[in-house]
Structure 1
């Protein structure tokens, strides 16, 4: 009978931790074996009185679906239990992202403008890449002819270079450069650069102080999908992990406090793909709220697992 004692004690301890300042109903069951990619199914939240730098505000809601925490410097964390009810995880998380982003209106406006610039830049980069490929072919042929002709070598200028070898091609002229290596493409033109390394794409525009990073999870079944958009005004980061379970993160920061008083917002979300999922939303008044996000993540882990 002792094999039943430890689970009972653990449940009693967790219940006691939530009873200080209000009773929180805990009814948690596992959706399967403890293997990677499988998270617990819960029908009510575990809301301890404290978690890291966070302290629960009052009692959790009677339905066990929401509890609110306060953190340092006026930060706030709200833990949500979200039933999908046949809807998609993407739609549910998009709703959270939209509501959080609205708390940073100035950064959101700049992010949307950056998205428009990024789309235009992506289209331009595709066209430039096609032209660069054609130019590289011509430059390679010209370089071979130049190597065979001594007078052509004498005419070579210091600000140009053409290198061609099996699997390698480098062409540079003034502020423009094209590099082709196995698994790597680089196209640079003055203040702008487009880099592709495997499933990673980086677009940088120094003139507009803008960087966009994308990874393609399709390149590896074990790879995370990451999207980063950053400029002088702030940054927006999204991550998601592959597999049957939901593991997603969103963060948006502003260089200056917004008109709402917030400077960083985001969420940590996990749960079975069919739901319910647990989402911890974060709002902070300081750009560096790492401890708050860590505590929010710990609350999610406490409820559904790692």
Structure 2
């Protein structure tokens, strides 16, 4: 089955080929039937997936070589960015927390969005990395059941929830949303992969390397609350809209949880990979 991979180059929506080395411009390839704007394409997710299925019939001249460094954030203007704290059993243990009975929710502000290969401007001595699986909503709704939750998800992508721990813990209670919303601290990409075509979506391998050293490596089946649980919980409180972003939590191995602690330094390269979804590479300055 062909997977739809919705990306963004120069502000225009693209579909990345299975070979991952080329793409088509969605508006041009559809003959104008689909829009050029990525957020509008997420609202028309089923049509985008149908277009992706026709890529096998595309002519060589329809494709453009993919330069990964030109990829923009595939979700440039979400209405809402939700994030879940303490959602991996091993991460709860390293941070000396018990297992939550319900998802612990905070927000990241859209002004913090970054591209898959965007630079990270460190804001202090205690900036941290957090690899995360990210879900993107396609079908809006409230009170979505766990059983129906996947039908509301467009796809999955790789996320980095960069965190300024000094700002986050400067006061009591902590300022999670502000500490995680510095400019560029919300990296997403490299594209949105259609969740319906991912046979591995319930158990994906996730790895984060900092300057070549593996810092986080886990399977997403260590999650306390899985994607359908989170979607159902959030929709019972807030209306979910097409293009909403959900960071589903980070596994163990974050810098703040290590002994000694390991925070990001200028020159560090943060490489975040999730099985079947791709890789983010962010250089710290």
Greater helix proportion? 1
Give the TM-score normalised by structure 1: 0.23
Structure ranking higher on relative contact order (CA contacts 8 Å, 6+ apart): 2
